[in-house]
Amino acid sequence: MRASASAYLPLCEPTRQSINSGHVRVTRLLRRDSSLLECRSPRVAYRRLGELYAVKSVRLGATPAERATQLREVVMHERVSGKHENIVGLRDCFFDSHHLYFVLDGIFGGDLQEAIAERAPFFYDDGATRSVFTQVVDAVAFCHSQTLFHRNIKPSNILCSMDGKRIFLSNFGLATEKEESDEFGIGTLPYMCPEAINPGRELECYSTRQGDLWAIGILLVDMLTGRTPWSEATVADADFRLYLQSPSCSLNGLPISPDVKRLIQRVLHHNSAKRISAYELLARLPSVQTFFPTKEEL
C-alpha cells in the first residue's frame, strides 16, 4: 500500500457550496488534486465565528474494512491534535454519502515540498534550516511520546505558514500506534527505510519509530540539496548501494557540512537499532555549527 492523494471532490461553484448541512461553506479550492478546500464556518465556531479552515475530503471506501481504515486516521490525528504547536489541528470530522471530511486548521502557506521546489528557502540559510528542521523533529518526537508513529513523513505532508517560518505536521492517514509493524511497503518510497521496504521479505516486522527517524534524515537531505539521496533504499538503487558500501564517500558528493554528514549517518544507519531517537536528534542539533560546506570543503 503506497500513499496516495485523496479523491478529488468536483465543485463547479466552490464559493457557493456548503457542506455538513450548511455548517461549513466552501470558499475556494486549494488543491484540485488532493481535494483540499478553503472553508469558512458561518454557523459553528471551532475557534472564532467565520474563521477560515482547510477541509480535506476523502472519497469513502467501498467496503466496511476500507472505511474502518479511513476512520483510523481520525483516531490517530485526534491523539495529537491541539497538543503540539507544530501539528496541524483537527477541528471536526463528518461525512456524507460519498465523502469523509476533515476540518483542519487553516494553514495556507503551501507545503514544504512546494517551498523546496519553487523557492529553495534553505539554501545557505542556517537560521531557516535549523528552525524549520527543529520544528519537524520536535513534532515527530512528540508523536512518538504519544505512541503514534507517522509512517509517511515527507515534505508534502508538512504544511507551512504564510511567511514560511512555522511548519505543521499533517496527514495521519498511515499513522499507527504499533511500534513493531508487519505491514511492509507503507509510505512513500524515497523516504521509506530499507526494513520497511523489505524487498526480500526476510524480515517479519520492523520498527515504525526507527522508520520515522529514517524519513526525517531523508527529509533533511531534501531540504539542503533539493532532492532525496536515492529513489529507494534497496540494493537495486545504485546510489543506495554506494551508501551501504561507504556512507561517508556517498555523502561527500552532497553540498552539506561535515557536521551534517556525521549527523545523517547516525540517523540513516543501516542497522535500525543504532539510529538515534528523535529526542537525541534534537539534543544534537545545537552542536551543528553550519548545515552547509565552506568554499574550501566543496
Is the pLDDT assigned to residue 221 strictly greater than 90?
A: yes
Please tell me the CATH code under which domain 112-287 is placed. Answer: 1.10.510.10
**What's the pLDDT score for residue 98?**
83
Q: Evaluate the CA torsion angle 7, 8, 10, 13 in order and state its sign.
A: positive
Is the pLDDT assigned to residue 29 strictly greater than 90?
A: no
Of 12-21, 24-33, 107-116, 160-169, the poorest mean pLDDT is in: 12-21
Q: Tell me the mean pLDDT in the region 179-190.
A: 97
DSSP alpha helix (H) spans, 146-277? 194-197, 208-225, 238-245, 247-252, 258-267
**What's the pLDDT score for residue 28?**
54
| Whole-number Cα distances in Å, 289 to 122, 267, 280, 298 | 15, 18, 17, 17
Contact partners, residue 40, CB within 8 Å, separation at least 6: 24, 25, 27, 50, 51, 52, 53
Q: Which residues pair with 142 in a beta bridge?
A: none
Please give the Cα distance from 15 to 97 (Å, whole number): 21
| 155 in Cβ contact with 215 (< 8 Å) | no
Q: What does DSSP say about strands 36-40 and 52-59: parallel, antiparallel, or unpaired?
A: antiparallel
Which string of DSSP letters, residue by residue, matches 18-40?
EETTTTEEEEEEEETTTTEEEEE
Residue with the larger pLDDT of the pair 28 and 255:
255
Does the domain made of 18-105 have the CATH classification 3.40.50.10950? no
Please give the Cα distance from 3 to 240 (Å, whole number): 22
Is the pLDDT assigned to residue 142 strictly greater than 50?
A: yes
Please give the Cα distance from 216 to 205 (Å, whole number): 20
Q: Tell me the mean pLDDT in the region 159-173.
A: 95
**What's the pLDDT score for residue 292?**
97
| Whole-number Cα distances in Å, 54 to 28, 32, 40, 93, 216 | 10, 13, 9, 12, 25
The amino acid sitting at 223 is M
Where do the CATH 3.30.200.20 domains begin and end in the chain? 18-105
Is the pLDDT assigned to residue 179 strictly greater than 90?
A: yes
Name the grid cell of 112: 514544504
The CB density around residue 203, as the number of other CB atoms within 10 Å, is 13
Q: Tens of pLDDT along 84-135?
A: 999 999 988 888 888 888 888 888 899 999 999 999 999 999 999 999 999 9
Q: Tens of pLDDT along 4-23?
A: 333 323 333 334 455 655 55
**What's the pLDDT score for residue 34?**
43
Q: b/e map of 68-99 (b: 16 or more CB within 10 Å)?
A: eebebbbebbebbbeebebbbbbbbbeeeeeb
Judged on CB neighbours under 10 Å (0-12, 13-18, 19+), 253 is: exposed
**What's the pLDDT score for residue 13?**
34
φ, ψ (nearest 5 deg) of residue 211: -65, -40
Show the beta-strand stretches assigned E in the chain. Answer: 18-19, 24-31, 36-40, 52-59, 90-95, 99-105, 158-160, 167-169, 180-181, 206-207
